[in-house]
Structure formats: C-alpha cells, structure tokens
Amino acid sequence: MSLSAFIRDHKEPIIVEFAAFARTLMPTGADMSDVELRDHADDILTAVVHDLGTPQTVEEQSRRSKGHGSAHTMAASGKLHADHRIQHGFGVRSVLAEFRALRATVLRLYEESGASDLNEVRRFNETVDEALTESMDRFAVRTDLYRDQFIGVLSHDLRAPLAAVTTGAALLALSEDHPERRARVVTRILNSAQRMERMIGDLLDLTRARLGGTIPIKRRQTDLKELCDEVILESSTARPEAALRFNTTGNLVGNWDADRLAQAVSNLVGNAIQYGDRTPVTLTAEEANGAVLLAVHNGGAPIPPDVMQSIFEPLARGSGDGGAHSIGLGLYIARAIVSAHGGEIGVRSSSDQGTTFTVRLPKLGSTDSAPTASATR
C-alpha cells in the first residue's frame, strides 16, 4: 500500500494519537478544544495526501529536497497551523514538537502495517519539512509583528501618565503657593503613578503566562458578593459616567484568591464600560452545582467575528482606542486568572443581544454554611 493511501485510510487513528500528544504541549490557560486540535491535524494530513498524489519531476524533487521547491502545496496548511497555535500561546518548541510527533506517528503506523514505499516515505518527509518551514516562517513574522505592536501600544499608553507626572512635578517646583492647585496636581501625579503601576503589573502577569507558568494564586474562603461589591464601587469611582448594576443569587462563598479574582472581574467590567453603548453594564453572580457563574453584559456593537477568534489574546481588541485604562491585556489576564482557578471563561456577542462574558468558578471545598445571598444593586 502506498503511503498516501495509508494516510487516507488510517487518518482517524493518526489524528487521535497526534491530538493526544498535542494536548500535552498546550500552554497553561489555553482553551483549545479537541475539535480544534483534530481539525488542524486533519488539514495537514489532507494537504499531505494531496501533495503525495501530485506528479513531481526529478528536477522538482531535487530542488524540493534542498528547500527550493516551487509547488508550495503545504504553504496554506503550514501558515494556518502557525496562526492558530500563536493565538493559543504555543511557543516555537511546541510547534516543532507537534510536527515531529506527526511525522513519527505516521511513519510508525505505516511501518507496523507491513507496507513499505521508500519513495513515498522520502517524499512524505519533504512534504512535512515544507509545512514545518512555512509554519516557522509564519511564526517568526507574526511574533515580530506582535512584538512591534506591543512595544508601540506600551510606549503610547505610558506616554500620557508619564507626561502628567513630569508636568505635575514641574508645577510643584514653582515658588508660588496655591494649595488648591497643588492638591489637584498631587492627585493627578498619584493617579498617573497608579496607572503605570497597573501597566507594569499587567506586563508581569503576561510574562508569567507566556513563559508557560501560571499566575500564582493564594486560595482562601472568599465571598464573591463582597468582592464584586468592591469592584463595582471602585469602577463607579473611576468611571462615574458609567451605569453599573449588580445582581446576585445563592451562596457565593468559595475557595479563591480574592485579589486575583477582583482583578479579573475588574478587567471584565472595565472592558464592558469601555466598549458599551452607555446603557447599563450588568454584573450577575449566581450559584450553580458546586460553582459560581459570573456574567458581565454590555450593549453596543457586537464584537467582529475576526476579533472574536482571538478576543482573549493580548492586543486582540482595543489597541487603537487610546489605552485609557490598560495596555490591551485585560481579557488575556482575566482568562489566565480564571484558568488558574480551574474555571472557564467564554463570550457571546450579537447585534440584538449585546456582549456577555461568562465565567464559571468551581468552589473547591468551600463551606456551604454561609448565608444565602440574594441582592440587586
């Protein structure tokens, strides 16, 4: 049996084994489904079968063996694979390991079948190498673009608070004594410094998550109603023009890191305020089967489909909005915090229903003796 026929007839066991290995390479917090893992393996194998069935001259084979082929039949699948893995936080080594595993899986199963077509095995290796090269080239381009965008957004967003600090310091250095003006200047300096501190904190969280670790959490018994009350109060103080509503139902006590969870909820509420249409932003928390379900809803234009695919990635949304409150890491960090708690986060958005971010947080052994909460603000 030819190798192309073997791959076509045994695609399912190949994909099952490959997907199981690929899942072990997933970064912490990545939310790839089994369908996504399988679909991309299916795409690559389909392209491989097509390539193996395409006539190839001796000259083309020679050029391709040296990396100078002209057909580029694997370009599309290789680039698609890189784009998808970048969106889910995979690193170069993980992508390389995936291609190595795919190659090894196919060849091992082919050998175990008793078949042997060395010519197609050679061509298969060249095909996988081409897909790998295309994927790595794409990975490099996207990584460079991501780095440049990130530096640009960070530079832009730091400039405003830094200018406020510099100008304020210059005003305080003047000899004239105007207590009211000095008080306003001091407040502006403190607010700007706190804003830069939040940016630095976001960068540290990004670094922890991107380097394959998890955002550290310290669990203790936490009442989510009290936590959300504080977030609503802080958000209302920072954005007095925003209308905020908070609804709760059930026992909202669980074992969570209160500070980190407040950060995640604050990021979601801040995002809703920023992108809403001035209609009230609604935060809902309810008990559900050993977990708590959080939902943050805002009206306004729906999230575009192309943005929805990478909404939880850095700079995926709002990088051109002036960066009034963050450097475009809020949703990414919210997802990392929720994942560190063993929870799940998702989003749905439409023109008639608005946008709703949902979070499910397991209670993990919290006491059930706490009083039942039922409130509306």
Which pLDDT belongs to residue 283?
97
pLDDT at position 214 over 90: no
Mean pLDDT of the chain: 78
136 closest CA partner among 166, 99, 186, 164 = 99
Specify whether the CB–CB gap between 153 and 319 falls below 8 A: yes
CA dist 84 and 90 (Å) reads 9
pLDDT at position 271 over 60: yes
DSSP structure class, residue 303: P
Please list the residues that pair with 297 across neighbouring strands.
282, 356
Percentage of the chain lying above the pLDDT 70 cut: 75
Work out the pLDDT band at 346, boundaries 50, 70, 90.
very high
pLDDT at position 318 over 50: no
Which pLDDT belongs to residue 227?
93
Which pLDDT belongs to residue 58?
63
Q: Which one is predicted more confidently, 199 or 213?
A: 199
Judged by average pLDDT, the poorest of 87-91, 137-141, 297-301 is 87-91
pLDDT at position 367 over 50: no
All domains of the chain in start order, with CATH: 1-213 (1.10.490.70), 220-376 (3.30.565.10)
Residue 24 — φ and ψ, nearest 5°? -70, -15
359 closest CA partner among 261, 225, 234, 257 = 261
**pTM of the shown model:** 0.57
What tens digit of pLDDT does each residue of 142-173 get? Answer: 777 766 666 665 665 667 677 777 887 787 77
Interval 330-346 mean pLDDT? 88
Please give the distance of CA 44 from its chain centroid, rounded to a whole number.
24
Nearest 10 degrees: Cα torsion 39, 41, 46, 51: 150
Interval 234-251 mean pLDDT? 88
Task: Count other C-beta atoms under 10 Å from residue 35's C-beta.
Answer: 9
Judged by average pLDDT, the poorest of 2-6, 87-91, 140-144, 367-371 is 367-371
Work out the pLDDT band at 208, boundaries 50, 70, 90.
low
Specify whether the CB–CB gap between 105 and 18 falls below 8 A: yes
Long-range contacts of 67-76, Cβ-Cβ distance < 8 Å, separation of 24 or more = 67/129, 67/133, 69/126, 69/130, 72/130, 72/134, 73/47, 73/127, 73/130, 74/44, 74/47, 74/48, 74/127, 74/128, 74/130, 74/131, 74/134, 75/130, 75/134, 76/47
CA dist 41 and 22 (Å) reads 10
What tens digit of pLDDT does each residue of 96-113 get? Answer: 888 888 888 888 888 888
What tens digit of pLDDT does each residue of 20-65 get? Answer: 877 777 665 555 667 776 767 788 888 888 877 777 666 666 665 5
pLDDT at position 116 over 90: no
Catalogue the E-assigned strands of 93-138. none
Which pLDDT belongs to residue 347?
94
